[in-house]
Amino acid sequence: MTDTLSSIRLNRRGFLGAAAVGAASLAVSACSTVSRGAYVDGPPPEAPQLSVDSSFGDYAMMYGPVTDEGFEIPAIPLKKMNKRFLRQVVQDPTGERPGTIVVDTSNHFLYLVREGGEAMRYGVGLGRAGFEWSGRAVIQWKRKWPTWTPPDEMIGRQPELAKYSAANGGMQPGLMNPLGARALYIFQNNQDTLYRLHGSPEWSSIGKSVSSGCVRLMNQDIIDLYDRVPNKTPILVTGGLGGVA
């Protein structure tokens, strides 16, 4: 998310006063996922204890090349990934009801709580704004291969992005679109928080904090998550599971 938009402090005291947006405003996202600036490393790597769901196949299959909606998503170079950020089944650390999404911003993990005390865990990358909001909300709706439209404030700082303005129809879906293969739109009290769970072609940003963006997953992972959760799925964003109410 951009520096300008990060000044819009969306917290538990309130969100933007706009009503739920319509189809036209779906394209206008506060998630500015064009990376600018250096990566900031996350916590030191830990010895991974991987448990892969039998329905996944192996990691080479999970993160191999994908043909989706006419787009060719390249394979993830697994040898370059910290394995703790690969999709895996873990003991649920959240205490939330099955079907709840929990984003742990301090550890760069997203959990989808399952039955039987388990959770699906995905690695995520976070923009600066990912640390500025926490709370409970819902996934209001989802989109495959969404259009991305940079906000006016961002275009003011980066005029070369004017070609992707709302007036010009935004950036069309594709492999280099900052929202990636899927976007899940987070609403609270029927109002758009401007936060998104979304895909990203920048696999190297997973497990790290970058200068912009919302909550990003590898495209293979956001496709998997998209297929597992319906609209109105509850979501909790927290800076640390130890502080979950």
pLDDT at residue 35 in the model: 45
pLDDT at residue 27 in the model: 39
Bridge partners for 89 per DSSP: 120
What does pTM read for this prediction? 0.78
As given in the structure block, the two tokens for residue 109 are 């993990």
Q: Is the pLDDT of residue 51 over 70?
A: no
Average pLDDT, rounded, for the chain: 79
**pLDDT confidence bin for 30, thresholds 50/70/90:** low
Distance CA 96, CA 106 (A): 18
Residue keyed to tokens 């129809």 = 169
Q: Could you tell me the two tokens for 211?
A: 């200068």
Q: Which two tokens stand for residue 139?
A: 């996934």
Residue type, 158: Q
Could you give the 3-state DSSP secondary structure of residue 6? Answer: helix
- Could you report the per-residue pLDDT of 174-191, keeping only the tens digit for each? 998 989 999 999 999 999
- Say what the pLDDT of residue 25 is: 38
pLDDT at 66 over 70: yes
- What are the CB-based long-range contacts (under 8 Å, 24+) for 49-58? 49/90, 50/83, 50/86, 50/88, 51/88, 51/89, 51/90, 52/87, 52/88, 52/89, 53/89, 53/120, 56/87
Counting residues of the chain whose pLDDT is more than 90, the rounded percentage is 58
Distance of alpha carbon 90 from alpha carbon 75, whole angstroms: 24
